[in-house]
Amino acid sequence: GESVGLHLPTLSVQEGDNSIINCAYSNSASDYFIWYKQESGKGPQFIIDIRSNMDKRQGQRVTVLLNKTVKHLSLQIAATQPGDSAVYFCAENRNTGGFKTIFGAGTRLFVKA
């Protein structure tokens, strides 16, 4: 079936190191991708997005890479900080055959001080 999934359910990194969170999607009709961060007891918070006509987009300490050939999305966090500890979700928007947003299962990031 169609899905957005994550390769790693948990990721543990040392403070100051870079983090890479991966996501695979299965539907080539998806044309917009979003990364969300969810802290305990909070709703998901928008981090960064990318459209399918791009392969890279940078924000403050975060970079999203899109590889449409292998249907792969990644979130890179530079100089990871304890405040980055959270669950990260990728999501895809599909605008053909009816609009739909599909969320991945999530990856929990632990930052060790």
Partner 1 sequence: GAGVSQSPSNKVTEKGKDVELRCDPISGHTALYWYRQSLGQGLEFLIYFQGNSAPDKSGLPSDRFSAERTGGSVSTLTIQRTQQEDSAVYLCASSLEKGRNQPQHFGDGTRLSIL
- Calpha distance 33→54 (Å, rounded): 11
**Rule CB under 8 A: is residue 12 a binding residue for partner 1?**
no
**Rule CB under 8 A: is residue 51 a binding residue for partner 1?**
yes
* Contacts with partner 1, 61-100, as mask; x by CB under 8 A: ----------------------------x---x-x---x-
Cβ atoms of 76 and 62 within 8 Å: the answer is yes
Q: Using the rule CB under 8 A, which residue among 20, 54, 103, 112 binds partner 1?
A: 103
CB atoms within 10 A of CB 34: 19
> Who's near 42: CB < 8 A, 6+ residues apart?
none
**Rule CB under 8 A: is residue 25 a binding residue for partner 1?**
no
Q: Using the rule CB under 8 A, which residue among 44, 75, 77, 85 binds partner 1?
A: 44
CA geometry: angle at 6 spanning 63 and 64, to 5°?
10
Q: Give the residues lining the site for partner 1 (CB under 8 A).
A: 31-32, 34, 36, 41-46, 49, 51, 89, 93, 95, 99, 101, 103-106
